[in-house]
Structure 1
């Protein structure tokens, strides 16, 4: 079983990497971009066979290591 975790900065948290990407896109002629939020995706190969148990375990992983829950939000997908 696979899990995908998408981690993004929470709304209202300054995203300097996203702003740098937006600025670079404008410099390359892409004028229609008003804002960019940059994040990360983590894919996990799990030995679990129960989707609910896998989601619970991956959520624990996010809360303890994968995401900084003070400034980041995350979404877990079981694939």
Structure 2
């Protein structure tokens, strides 16, 4: 069983890396990009039967800084 955790900064939190990407895209000639939010994806190989609640607990305790980051969990 696999879990994919998508982590992004919450709205209102400054994203300097996203802004650098937006600026670089403009420099490369890609017009019309008004904003970029950068994040990360963590893929976990889990034992069969691991619950989504367990993965959420992992996120809350270690994988995401819930003060400034949001996350979503996708089980496959």
RMSD: 0.8
Q: TM-score, normalised by structure 2?
A: 0.96
C-alpha separation between the residues in 1 aligned to 2:17 and 2:32?
18
Q: TM-score, normalised by structure 1?
A: 0.93
Matches within 5 A, 1:1-79: 1-49=1-49, 53-79=50-76
Structure 1 residue 56 displacement after superposition:
0.8
C-alpha separation between the residues in 2 aligned to 1:64 and 1:48?
21
Q: What are the ranges of 5 or more consecutive residues in structure 2 without an aligned counterpart?
A: none
Q: What are the ranges of 5 or more consecutive residues in structure 1 without an aligned counterpart?
A: none
Provide the aligned length of Structure 1 versus Structure 2.
76
Structure 1 residue 32 displacement after superposition:
1.2
Q: Give 4+ residue runs of structure 1 displaced > 2 Å after superposition.
A: none
